[in-house]
Amino acid sequence: MFDRGSTIIKDASKLTFDYVPVELINRDAEMETLEMIMRPVVDTAASETAFVAGNIGSGKTATVKRFCMDMLDYCGRHNVPFGYILINCRQKTTDASILVQLIRYFDRDFPDKGFSPADMLLVLRKHIVKSGKRMLIVLDEVDSLIKRGSTDLIYQITRFSDDDYNKVSLSLILISQEYVLNKIDKASLSTFKSANTIRFRKYNKEDLVAITASRAKLALVDGTFDDEIIDFIADIAADTGDARVAIDLLDKSARFAENGSAGAIMAEDVRSAKNLMYNLVSASNLRQFGMNKLLVLLAVSRCIKNKTYVSQKAVENTYAVVCEEYETPAKGHTQFWSYIIAMEKEGFIKTFKQFDHAEGAIVKYISLPDIPASTLSRIIERIIEGVDDDEM
Ligand SMILES: Nc1ncnc2c1ncn2[C@@H]1O[C@H](COP(=O)(O)OP(=O)(O)OP(=O)(O)O)[C@@H](O)[C@H]1O
Ligand SMILES: [Mg+2]
């Protein structure tokens, strides 16, 4: 059952969200800013703080993880005692559980219960002093910690380095989707100099093309994907600017392609993947369309099959055949196109214009971004034929 050799995917681990790429695409400036902020930690054992904010899936966690790994590597090569701890605050729901995880970096057997937060802060401090390491603590998804009012923990941790006696080097990187600095109380806020905020801008289509292509190269067998497929995936992900959507689509498309016979990822695999992720088209949405529009949509889905997009002319030819099949008079060109535009407004299809060398003219094209053409054809056929299908 699962023992079939893989023909598309050569390294599935590169498609997981935990995988941290060695090189992050178009995040050099952010990496350099982090380096600039943390340089005094390496040079003079200072304590620094940085705040990383940005859109969902804009590479905040991945970039900071890569930064920590690179910093550890650098310090190791230059005999600088250094360690970092990364905590996801959404997964650790109490201050106590965050403190336990911090202490376990030094003492793996530290118990879950039995210590108050105040005691644990003392234990943590002792461990840091004893280790002689410059420590960097990363609090990821810190907005969840701040929303539940746990800003005191941040304050207590930042105070470690204020103490003149047994001075420790303890730096912090806070990561959040939202801009949460204004929710932190004044005492801790004073340690967050505004210059130390790094904003991660939302990824655009070009960024997502590069991210998807680099991940495909790492994870997939050569020759199983082409530029058009990468572009198609990036285009879908560009709606949200979330790199996670692009990687997830690539992963699922590759899995669909494994089950297909083409030996490569086809546009239809990407549509199937998207359908699996969102299932945007439901039969009830389709039923609101009358027969005429449904026939046009059926013509689009039958015509497009495995292709990324088709010309308006090709769809109109298929439309004529479909109308004959369902014994309905075909509408004229203007009416046909107005149906296409109406369904584009509903989000079922997309249209664009492009120069066609064979025709020597600008041609209108139609694409089907949200659902596999075969699934869409089947759903429409059933609605037209009046089959009441509960699974739809
Ligand atoms: N610049 C990039 N180059 C390569 N891969 C990237 C890049 N940015 C993000 N990724 C990948 O996209 C996925 C999502 O990125 P990441 O988890 O860092 O986003 P995030 O900003 O932390 O999102 P969230 O706000 O949801 O926590 C990860 O698998 C990550 O490896
Ligand atoms: Mg994250």
* Per-residue pLDDT tens listing for the chain (392 residues): 555 567 899 999 999 888 999 999 999 999 999 999 999 999 999 999 899 999 889 999 999 999 999 999 999 999 999 999 999 988 777 889 999 999 999 999 999 889 999 999 999 999 999 999 999 999 998 888 877 777 778 888 888 777 666 678 999 999 988 667 666 666 666 655 555 889 999 999 999 999 999 999 999 999 999 999 999 999 999 877 889 989 999 999 999 999 888 999 999 999 999 887 765 456 667 877 889 999 999 999 999 987 888 999 999 999 999 999 999 999 999 999 999 998 888 778 889 998 888 888 899 999 987 677 877 887 888 788 775 443 33
Domain spans, the chain: 28-200, 203-278, 283-384
Separation of CA 147 and ligand 2 centre (Å): 17
Residue 212's φ and ψ, nearest 5 degrees, are: -65, -45
- Ligand 1 atom at minimal distance to the Cα of residue 177: 25
Amino acid at 147: K
Backbone φ, ψ for residue 341 (5° rounding):
-65, -40
Pocket test for ligand 1, best of 52, 61, 215 (most atoms within 8 A of CB): 61
* 309-311 vs 49-54, strand pairing mode: unpaired
Contact 43, 295 (CB under 8 A): no
- What does residue 78 show for φ and ψ, rounded to 5 degrees? -110, 20
Q: How far is the CA of 350 from the centre of ligand 2 (A)?
A: 31
Is 253 close to ligand 1, i.e. is its CB under 6 Å away?
A: no
Ligand 1 contact, 66 CB (< 6 A) = no
Q: Residue 63 C-alpha to ligand 1 middle, in angstroms?
A: 7
> How far is residue 68's CA from residue 83's CA, in Å, rounded to a whole number?
9
Beta-strand (E) ranges in the chain? 49-54, 82-88, 134-140, 170-176, 197-200, 309-311, 350-356, 361-367
When the candidates are 4.10.520.10, 1.10.8.60, 1.10.3720.10, 1.20.120.920, the CATH number that belongs to 203-278 is: 1.10.8.60
The residues, ordered by sequence, that sit 6+ positions from 191 with a Cβ below 8 Å of its Cβ are: 49, 158
Distance 18 CA to ligand 1 centre (A): 9
Instruction: Answer yes or no: is the C-beta of 247 below 6 A from any ligand 1 atom.
Output: yes
DSSP-assigned beta bridge partners for residue 134: 82
**Any idea which ligand is nearest the CA of 19?**
1
**Sign of the torsion angle spanned by Cα atoms 133, 86, 14, 12:** positive
SS3 302: helix
Architecture of the domain delimited by 28-200: 3-Layer(aba) Sandwich (3.40)
Dihedral of the alpha carbons of 349, 355, 360, 362, in degrees to the nearest 10: 60
**Distances in whole angstroms, Cα of residue 12 to Cα of each of 48, 171, 247, 282:** 37, 35, 11, 31
In three-state secondary structure terms, 89 is coil
Q: Residue with structure tokens 């929303």?
A: 147
Ligand at shortest distance from the CA of 214: 1
Neighbours of ion ligand 2 (CB under 5 A): 61
Ligand nearest to the CA of 219: 1
CA distances from 132 to 45, 305, 353 (A): 10, 63, 64
Look up tokens 């941040």; give the residue.
Answer: 154
Task: Compute φ and ψ for 332, nearest 5 degrees.
Answer: -70, 170
Residue 142 Cα to ligand 1 middle (Å): 16
Total Cβ atoms within 10 A of residue 127:
19
Nearest residue CA, atom 23 of ligand 1?
57
Indicate whether residue 274 lines ligand 1 (CB < 6 A). no
**Ligand 2 centroid distance, CA of 233 (Å):** 21
CA distance 249 to 254: 8
177 CA distance to ligand 2 middle (Å): 8
211 lines ligand 1 (CB under 6 A): yes
Instruction: Report how far residue 154's alpha carbon sits from residue 148's, in angstroms, rounded to the nearest whole number.
Output: 13
Compute the residue count for the chain: 392
User: CA-to-CA distance for 183 and 148, rounded, in angstroms?
Assistant: 11
Q: Which ligand 1 atom is nearest residue 17's CA?
A: 29
Structure tokens that stand for 13 in this block: 């681990």
CATH number at 283-384 = 1.10.10.10
223 CA distance to ligand 2 centroid (A)?
Answer: 32
Nearest Cα neighbor of 300 from 250, 329, 336 is 336
Tokens representing residue 39 in the block: 């340089």
* Nearest ligand 1 atom, CA 141: 27
Residue 290, Cβ density class (10 Å: 0-12 exposed, 13-18 middle, ≥19 buried): exposed
Residue of 14, 24, 30 to test ligand 1 pocket, by largest number of atoms within 8 Å of CB = 24
CB 185, CB 76: distance < 8 Å: no
Q: 384 with 298: CB under 8 angstroms?
A: yes
- Report how far ligand 1's centroid is from the alpha carbon of 347 (Å): 27
How far is residue 275's CA from residue 368's CA, in Å, rounded to a whole number? 11
Ligand showing the shortest atom-to-Cα distance for residue 59:
1
